[in-house]
Amino acid sequence: MARYLFPRWSNKVLPILIFWVLGPLGTAGIAAAVYYTPNDNINVGYRPKQPVPYSHKLHAGEMGMDCRYCHSPVERGAMATVPPTQVCMNCHSKVRTDSVKLLAVRDSNGNGMPIQWRRVHNLPDYVYFDHSAHMAAKVGCVECHGRIDQEEVVEQKKSLSMVFCLECHRDPGPHLRPADVSVTDMEWTPDPKHGPVAANGRTVYPPTHCSGCHR
Amino acid sequence: MSKRSPYVFAEDRSGQKLWRSLAELEQKPELIAQLPAEFPPNITEPPDGMSRRTFFNLMGASAALAGLAACRSPDEKIVPYAQAPEEQIPGAALYYATATTFGGTAIGLIVESHDGRPTKLEGNPAHPDSAGGGLVPWVQASVLDLYDPDRSQQPRQKSATGDKFEDRTWSQATDALKALGQKLRGQGARFVVLTGGHRSPTLQAQLDALKAAMPGVRIVRWEPVSRDAQREGARIAFGKPFETVLDVAKAKVIVTLDADILGTDGSVVKQSRGFADGRSLEDPAAMNRLYAIESTFSVTGSAADHRLRLKSRDVSAFAFALAAVPPLLLFFCYQHAATGSAFASAQQRYYALSDGPPDCFRYGFGAGIGCRGEHGEFVAHNLAGGYGLVAALGTTGRRMLHHVADVLNFAPLAALPLAALLARGRLIRILALAVAAQIAAYAPFYFDGSYPGGGARMFADALPLEHVLTVVGLVALAHRFRRRLGPDPFARATAITFALALAGFAVGRLGLADCATELADGNGHLFGLTVAPHRDRHPCAGGHVGHQGRELGRPGDGGAAKLGDHIAWLNARLFGGATRLHRADQGAHRFFHAKRLGQVRRDLLDGDPQTPSADFSVFQQLAFDLHRHINGNGKRQPLITTAVAVDLRVDANHFTAHIEQWATGVARIDRNIGLQKGNIAFVR
């Protein structure tokens, strides 16, 4: 029986396939990936529109409210948390009771359904972060969150990447505040020669090994 | 290359016609057509829906595309409470001190709660049952009940057709219940409310109100796992359903009879703690020893030093056997001390009183000695009242006095478990005649003014039977007069028995001691044939035969008795024990102290007259309490004999002083009586 020979035209099949089929499909795939998968929401500059146009500039900046009035668990828990609606209503049951901007807050207070805020500072699930530990060492809010007292809408100012964390963990001294400076003070200038000693006199040893954060 | 035609099976027409199915055998045409196919049509494809191939195609594509979702970070929401619960920090645990009920018993808890969801239960360290924070596995696991998908989520009601249940809202449910209540109230109908074990005063008040409103209602409390049996045991023992709290730490030898004291029965955490405390390596000699007799492999069995597999139905028998060991040992000690051999009869003194020397006899049970040929008129002459009723009564009294004064003689301990066994069975009615039979059998003996000692000998030889009959008869009578005697006739019968025994001691102390010791003097005076009948009315007049008897064992100086004088010092000891009853100083103190068996025995051997009557009563109590609380039906009853628990939180020294606190007395056992090792706790 004679051996089977591919016809001569079959030599053109592969180049044509690559050029006309795989090339365009791959280009389209890459373009789709570039178009559809930017991680804006974990990058610097992420500034989503919130359901309530809450202004940190007004509350924290101009009126000088302490961060911890609303983010009360920050010193005791891992999360700073967005306050419950009732905290807003502590004041807004008396102040600006007819403001249109506060409609969602009043609704939530009335019907008991929570306000769904969009998360701005979002670490990946494989990273462990505890606000209370950083509060205990007196790392200022501004270190990670930037001048939030000047922001009309909350925006991610720092990269919150691994290198961002490690820069501080490897040399925590300049980021630690003395006892007489509040962690919420946005304008305090750190002393670059400050050693790795917390306000309570304890030397801090921030973890730089993997499992310190990737538990 | 050769082309080979496929092999064709030649149709074999030569042999037997074979068939593969009944259809082929029957040659049904529609089935014959299907025969060439390996499988019937459509059997490889599902009757409807998706085929296997389609399923795998779609699943493969889905799995391949699922990875695409990871290309983009999710846009997360922060959803705070509208009205936040108090004290709650998101992500941080909150701890609440509370209690749950398990088997109707409240258990102190610390509940760990995450974001409003209880996740972990631990014992409250401040609660006495937790022993510093432990918790029973069952209660630990009970937190899962909260997340059980099989829990009913809402009320359900049987549909109008009655064939299924339909979901209802709570308002519908309360409406339906109200309507039902109105209907039942109008009709005065009977109905039953089934509740679990609870200790809620509120719930109880509601149930009481329900009962007041509808007298027909029956409220039934039942739990599949509960301490009800144990509480019932306590109720039998103490009259009130106490909780049993075993103080295992104090026990040195722990015997569990089908009781999982480290796993399921009782205050397990506390008991486990106590068990561990009793096994300190720092003092190995003081380490406790755990014997587990059980029908299933339990936590206790796995922790036990010695484990005996036993069918559940045999555990009761084992308990009886175990209960019989101390009294039997005591009995053998008694026999050994009295006769020099553990297995010889200890009734020599009895024989001596009843028989007299060879060819002679003692008429009137100690009133005098007669010999062969001296019956009849001789005896009538020597007896004060002749054959009259007064003489007979006197004879009977003397005899019964001896009988009663000797505790072991009065009620052989080994017979008690047997009696209890019989008492719980149906034989009880027949054996009720035992007392009558015994009286009839003794009739000639009572009036033995002219009757040789043979009669006494006969019954003395038949001693165990006689006393079994006595005990059984008492039990039978107790059952017969159940109402008059109260809820637990057996306990009352026991009380009466021991009261008689103590009375016998007291009587013995009053008048019998000296004459008995002299009577029993082994120096031959008893057998000296010196017939010198005394005419005085001393209860033991016959004993003063010529006054040659050595003065022995006056109460308080029993050391005077020689070791060789078995019978004599035995008396001294017995009555000496009675003496201690009346001494308010350290003697009285000793009376309260039940001693170890070894100690008792030593007392027997050195003739120390300090062995208190309490020794005997302890053992008898042990026997009674054990069989009182163990049913003979072989059914497993966890911890029913709470009465014989290790430490019942009753001061152990209140023991024999209050004769009605029988079970309390048993609490002494674990501390003061043991078989070589020290202490025994009977736990069942």
- pLDDT per residue as tens digits for the range B180-232: 877 777 665 567 888 887 778 898 999 998 888 777 788 888 887 777 777 88
Cα–Cα–Cα angle for B480, B486, B487, rounded to 5 degrees: 95
Question: Do residues B237 and B642 make contact, with C-beta atoms less than 8 angstroms apart?
Answer: yes
Query: Is A51 near chain B, with CB under 8 Å?
Result: no
Q: Do B80 and A86 touch (CB under 8 A)?
A: no
The rounded distance, in Å, linking the Cα atoms of B604 and B190 is 66
The rounded distance, in Å, linking the Cα atoms of B339 and B358 is 19
Same domain, B189 and B263: no
When scoring B68, B83, B86, B115 by the number of chain A Cβ atoms within 10 A, the one with the most, hence best to mutate, is B83
Same domain, B191 and B125: no
Determine the pLDDT at residue A169. 93
Q: Which residue has the higher pLDDT, B666 or A58?
A: A58
Determine the pLDDT at residue B132. 77
Residues 91-120 of B with CB under 8 A from A: 91-92
When scoring A44, A75, A107, A115 by the number of chain B Cβ atoms within 10 A, the one with the most, hence best to mutate, is A115
The size of chain A, in residues, is 215
pLDDT, mean of residues B100-127: 86
Q: Closest partner residue to A79 among B1, B79, B90, by Cβ?
A: B90
Residue A97 has pLDDT above 60, yes or no: yes
Same domain, B281 and B219: no
Q: Do A122 and B76 touch (CB under 8 A)?
A: yes
pLDDT, mean of residues B400-422: 50
> Between A and B, how many residue pairs show a Cβ–Cβ distance under 8 A?
77
Q: From residue B674, how far is each of A141, B279, B596 by CA, in Å?
A: 73, 18, 6
Question: Do residues B100 and B118 make contact, with C-beta atoms less than 8 angstroms apart?
Answer: no
Q: Closest partner residue to A86 among B71, B75, B83, by Cβ?
A: B83
What is the nearest CA distance from B68 to chain A, expressed in angstroms?
9
Determine the pLDDT at residue B621. 34
| Structure-block tokens of residue A141 | 């809010």
Query: Is the whole model's pTM more than 0.90, yes or no?
Result: no
Q: Is B98 helix (H, G, I), strand (E, B) or coil?
A: strand
Q: Is B273 helix (H, G, I), strand (E, B) or coil?
A: helix
Residue B41 lies in a domain: no
What would the DSSP string read from start to end of A55-122? -HIIIIIIS---HHHHSGGGGTSS---PPPHHHHHHHHTTSSTT-GGGHHHHHHHHH-PPP-EEP-S-
Q: Closest partner residue to B81 among A38, A114, A118, by Cβ?
A: A114
Residue B407 has pLDDT above 50, yes or no: no
When scoring A35, A46, A49, A85 by the number of chain B Cβ atoms within 10 A, the one with the most, hence best to mutate, is A85
Determine the pLDDT at residue B291. 92
Determine the pLDDT at residue B417. 45
Determine the pLDDT at residue B636. 37
Question: Do residues B274 and B252 make contact, with C-beta atoms less than 8 angstroms apart?
Answer: no
Residues 35-74 of B with CB under 8 A from A: 71-73
Residue B305 lies in a domain: yes
| Structure-block tokens of residue B383 | 């007896």
Residue B233 has pLDDT above 90, yes or no: no
Q: From residue A74, how far is each of A67, A80, A87, A128, A162 by CA, in Å?
A: 9, 4, 15, 15, 22
Q: B97 phi and psi, to 5 degrees?
A: -90, 125
Determine the pLDDT at residue B422. 55
Q: Do B82 and A113 touch (CB under 8 A)?
A: yes
When scoring B2, B81, B86, B114 by the number of chain A Cβ atoms within 10 A, the one with the most, hence best to mutate, is B81
Number of domains in chain B: 3
Angle of helix B463-480 versus helix B489-507 axis, rounded to 10 = 130
Determine the pLDDT at residue B576. 31
Residue B497 has pLDDT above 90, yes or no: no
Q: Do A119 and B73 touch (CB under 8 A)?
A: no
- Residues facing residue B306 across a β-bridge: B291
The rounded distance, in Å, linking the Cα atoms of B34 and B65 is 44
Angle of helix B489-507 versus helix B566-581 axis, rounded to 10 = 110
pLDDT digits (tens, 9 = 90+) for B374-400: 555 555 566 555 555 666 666 666 666
Residue A166 has pLDDT above 90, yes or no: yes
When scoring B1, B68, B73, B114 by the number of chain A Cβ atoms within 10 A, the one with the most, hence best to mutate, is B73
Residue B546 has pLDDT above 80, yes or no: no
Residue B631 has pLDDT above 60, yes or no: no
- Residues facing residue B107 across a β-bridge: B100
Q: Closest partner residue to A84 among B71, B84, B92, by Cβ?
A: B84
Residue B330 lies in a domain: yes
Q: Is B567 helix (H, G, I), strand (E, B) or coil?
A: helix
Banded pLDDT at A118 (limits 50, 70, 90)? very high
B304 Cα distance to chain centroid? 19
The closest alpha carbon to B361, from B448, B453, B449, belongs to B453
Structural domain containing residue B183:
176-225
Banded pLDDT at B138 (limits 50, 70, 90)? confident
Residue B93 identity: A
Percent of chain B with pLDDT over 70: 43
Q: Which residue of A has its CA nearest to B77?
A: A118
Q: From residue B501, how far is each of B407, B497, B617, B659 by CA, in Å?
A: 6, 6, 9, 12
Residue A4 has pLDDT above 70, yes or no: yes
Banded pLDDT at B96 (limits 50, 70, 90)? very high
Residues of chain A in contact with residue B73, where contact means CB-CB under 8 angstroms, are 39, 41-42, 122
pLDDT, mean of residues B272-280: 88
Same domain, B330 and B311: yes
Query: Is A123 near chain B, with CB under 8 Å?
Result: no
Residues 125-164 of A with CB under 8 A from B: none
Same domain, B339 and B251: yes
When scoring A1, A35, A37, A128 by the number of chain B Cβ atoms within 10 A, the one with the most, hence best to mutate, is A37
Mean pLDDT, all residues of chain A: 89
The CATH number given to whatever domain includes residue B140 is 2.20.25
Query: Is B212 near chain A, with CB under 8 Å?
Result: no
Q: Do B78 and A108 touch (CB under 8 A)?
A: no
Listed range (A19-33, A66-80, B180-194) with the worst mean pLDDT: B180-194
Banded pLDDT at B293 (limits 50, 70, 90)? very high
Residue B320 lies in a domain: yes
Question: Do residues B517 and B568 make contact, with C-beta atoms less than 8 angstroms apart?
Answer: yes
Q: Do A41 and B75 touch (CB under 8 A)?
A: yes
Question: Do residues B634 and B316 make contact, with C-beta atoms less than 8 angstroms apart?
Answer: yes
Q: Do A78 and B91 touch (CB under 8 A)?
A: yes
Same domain, B319 and B247: yes
Residues of chain A in contact with residue B79, where contact means CB-CB under 8 angstroms, are 114-117
Q: Do B78 and A118 touch (CB under 8 A)?
A: yes
Query: Is B80 near chain A, with CB under 8 Å?
Result: yes
Residue B74 has pLDDT above 80, yes or no: no
- Complex confidence, ipTM: 0.83
Burial of B138 (0-12, 13-18, 19+ CB in 10 A): middle
Determine the pLDDT at residue B589. 33
Same domain, B220 and B247: no
Same domain, B231 and B338: yes
Residue A135 has pLDDT above 80, yes or no: yes
Residue B610 lies in a domain: no
Determine the pLDDT at residue A87. 92
pLDDT digits (tens, 9 = 90+) for B523-533: 333 332 222 23
pLDDT, mean of residues A71-80: 90
Banded pLDDT at B499 (limits 50, 70, 90)? low
Cα–Cα–Cα angle for B639, B641, B647, rounded to 5 degrees: 90
pLDDT, mean of residues B18-32: 75
pLDDT, mean of residues A13-20: 93
Query: Is B82 near chain A, with CB under 8 Å?
Result: yes
Determine the pLDDT at residue A57. 92
| Structure-block tokens of residue B503 | 């009375």
Same domain, B231 and B293: yes
Same domain, B312 and B277: yes
Mean pLDDT, all residues of chain B: 63
Determine the pLDDT at residue B174. 92
Q: Closest partner residue to A82 among B73, B75, B78, by Cβ?
A: B78
Residue B452 lies in a domain: no
Residue B510 lies in a domain: no
Name the CA radius of gyration of chain A, rounded.
Answer: 26
Question: Do residues A175 and A143 make contact, with C-beta atoms less than 8 angstroms apart?
Answer: yes
Residue B471 lies in a domain: no
What is the nearest CA distance from B93 to chain A, expressed in angstroms?
9
Same domain, B235 and B334: yes
Q: Closest partner residue to A39 among B73, B80, B83, by Cβ?
A: B73
Same domain, B203 and B235: no
Banded pLDDT at B431 (limits 50, 70, 90)? low
Sequence-separated (6 or more) residues with CB below 8 Å from residue B373:
none
Determine the pLDDT at residue B480. 60
